[in-house]
Amino acid sequence: MEEISPKSRVIIDGDISAERLAALIKLGVEEERLDYKNEYNLSGSKGTKDKVEFVRDVIGMANTYGGYIVLGVHETTDISGKRFTPNGLSPSASASLDVSALRQQIEAYVEERIDILPV
């Protein structure tokens, strides 16, 4: 008989401490409850792509068990697969990050309020 195992190694428990952030980054693999993004750009043509992708990710997580989107993690793909390296956010990206603006983007697509907790 095959053992039943959870799909995700990420437990959604409301912990958004620095220790939890470090543990999420250390996992080094995206899954349904964990997504890494290098930066989040609200301006220019790339900003539109980032906005749509962010809203899609948040809605997907909200429709399941919730999750974490960790900014400042760079994705590299090579012959051995994907690797994720924490590199932090640039000063301009960090300064432009506005949780209320993120909420407005999401609320443009969904009626229910979705909590976004910044760390």
Residue 32 CA: distances (Å) to CA of 15, 36, 76, 78: 18, 11, 19, 22
Work out the pLDDT band at 112, boundaries 50, 70, 90.
Answer: confident
φ and ψ at residue 58, rounded to 5 degrees: -65, -45
pLDDT at 62: 83
pLDDT at 43: 62
Q: What is the pTM of this model?
A: 0.79
